[in-house]
Amino acid sequence: MANSEDGQERLRIHWRRDAAGQCQSARNAAHRYLTSLFGVGLIALVAAVSIVAARADDAESLDFGPYRAAAEYRRSDVARPLALSLDQRILCFDGSLPADQNLALVKRLKSGGLFVAHSIGGDHALMMKVADHLRDINATVVIYGYCLFSCADYLVIASSKTVILRDALVAWRPFADKGECVGVAPARDEGPFRLDGGACGKSEDMFSQDFAPVDRLRRKFLRTRRVSSTFDMPPESAKVRKLLRKIDLERAFKIGFVMWMWHPRYQPSSVKTKIIYEAYPESQEDVDALAERLRLAGWIIYDP
């Protein structure tokens, strides 16, 4: 009987040791997993910070001289809205493109050339055609003065690189086609509701269905240029959305247009285009002063 009890006690001790070993192995495995998971997250965080830092380094190391020279060509006595330099390396876009605009000059711009924009855009379908061609020839978009409305929607993310010169303003607002409304809508990133345009209605999904043919073109355009599936046009940071919620938008839109900027730190994780600011404004006061200097009516909200 004593031998039997001794044997059972030895069995219990063996089981405890074996269980302890299994628990320790499980703890080790969990530790390795969590360490790996933390490592992946840390790597992703470092990568994101590195991308933003690389963009800042790009701005510091980039020679803006050629881009300023191209902008000076736009300021000379050239045709509007489109003018092509003699060497076909610079195409200036100043003004607005109507739906019947001839794009022969755009197609003559040489591969790798500069497309200088100082514009409010134009016909949406035509602007998308221009943007697609700029991407196909790997042109660099240069923003001088201002780029608003459909200019911001399509040209800023048209090609692989966009250079925004000092004292230039780029700003967005919702697109609403004829018969559509501007209002709040759920955001792809599940953050605060965003301001958007679409079919008029009162339900939260009032902007979820195609309402005009141009909407389908816009969605196709964005699919080829976005990095994140949560990015949508017009771009609105969480801070901008919170600012917009404090505004009496109905009254504001009756007085004049309301637009907003998009801080460079959000861009690398949102779109494929490398967007380089020579100098991003530092405050709302800076933006107000620039808007006044450029004789822009309405209100442009600064994205801090």
Mind spelling out the 3-state secondary structure of the chain?
CHHHHHHHHHHHHHHHHHHHHHHHHHHHHHHHHHHHHHHHHHHHHHHHHHHHHHHHHHHHHCCCHHHHHHHHHHHCCCCCCEEECCCCCEEEEEEEECCCCCCHHHHHCCCCCEEEEEEEEECHHHHHHHHHHHHHCCCEEEEEEEECCHHHHHHCCCCCEEEECCCCEECECCCCCCCEEEEEECCCCCCCCEEEEEECCCCCCCCCCCCCHHHHHHHHHHHCCECCCCCCCCCCCHHHHHHHHCCCHHHHHHHCCEEECCCHHHCCCCECCEEEECCCCCCHHHHHHHHHHCCCCCEEECCC
Same domain, 15 and 135: no
Q: Which domain holds residue 299?
A: 68-304
Statement to judge: residues 22 and 93 lie in one domain: no
- One domain, residues 231 and 171: yes
Same domain, 28 and 177: no
**Do residues 92 and 139 make contact, with C-beta atoms less than 8 angstroms apart?**
no
**Does residue 24 share a domain with residue 140?**
no
Give how many domains the chain has, as a whole number. 2
Q: Are residues 211 and 235 in the same domain?
A: yes
Mark which of 10, 41, 61 sits at the end of a domain.
61
**Is the domain of 108 the same as that of 85?**
yes
Whether 153 and 98 map to the same domain: the answer is yes
Residues 297 and 243 in one domain: yes
Q: 211 is written with which tokens?
A: 């309402």
Per-residue model confidence (pLDDT) at position 157: 98
Mean pLDDT by 10 residues, the chain (304 residues): 41 37 42 39 36 53 94 84 96 96 97 97 96 98 97 98 98 80 81 80 50 82 94 93 82 72 96 98 97 92 96
What's the N-to-C CA distance of the chain in angstroms?
A: 82
pTM: 0.76
Q: Specify burial of residue 8 (Cβ count, 10 A radius: 0-12, 13-18, 19+).
A: exposed
- Cα separation, 2 vs 8, in Å, equals 10
Per-residue pLDDT at 57: 53
Question: Which pair of tokens denotes residue 149?
Answer: 């409305």
- Do 32 and 86 lie in one domain? The reply is no
Listed residues 38, 61, 84: the one ending a domain: 61
Residue 41: both structure tokens together? 């997250």
Token readout for 172 is 């967005």
| CA distances to 116, 261, 264, 293 from 283, in Å | 26, 11, 14, 16
Residue 75 has what pLDDT? 79
- Whether residues 277 and 133 share a domain: the answer is yes
The length of the chain, given as a count of residues: 304
CA–CA dist 144, 277 (Å, integer): 11
Q: Return the closest-CA partner of residue 296 out of 59, 99, 288.
A: 288
**13 and 88 both lie in a single domain:** no
pLDDT of residue 74: 75
Residue finishing a domain among 15, 35, 61: 61
